[in-house]
Structure 1
């Protein structure tokens, strides 16, 4: 965990900086649910009944973003939205009218809560990200 700059229970170092600052995607497509018969491979009953729109993000379990992220939340325009489905190449997010194509999506925006939400530690999730399919951007 320390190699990734993540704090563990019982250990805290104020000088420790996280290696993975963000996992970023972009909204690729936005659809109204009343125009769809299904989302990914599942019928619409898997989506919250109050949701009117769904966004597609181009990252999935083929990239190392596993299905256990279903039901967790991502951040778009400083607001949390529920991840409805994760497929091999795409993730579907329940959104509202504030989200548009091209908007930045922050996945894993709360790394310390990943274990509780997914059943996997942040370390397990971070090391599964494919170096072939997920572009790394190094910053100072």
Structure 2
């Protein structure tokens, strides 16, 4: 369900960035919610599947495999560092997850289009990660106290 929600919110909030052949979206928010609430495995699954599907349906098929890996790693790292931890560690986890995503797309853009496009994409990817982190944090904080109840434990 989190994969579907992440893809939908990412398609709803989608700003194309022509110079990089990519876009700014809220995919990272859904990834951070999954990672911080459910852990590294679920963060990786939501990240990989959401990034892959979003690129497929958004017309960025050249990024599908890159997004599978990049967003999967982002979710894994954020969940590994921040799941079940105090709020300051959750914030650190999202910062490190964002750095992983930015580095991954720098490499992806560089492979696909050259280093100049890789460099141009860094600021917009940081904006996307920060925006995703803020939205994700605002969703995680009220849900984390309700999670045991929602999961039936």
**TM-score past 0.5 threshold:** no
The answer to which structure has the higher strand fraction is 1
Larger radius of gyration: 1
Q: TM-score of the superposition, structure 2-length normalised?
A: 0.27
The answer to which structure has the higher helix fraction is 2
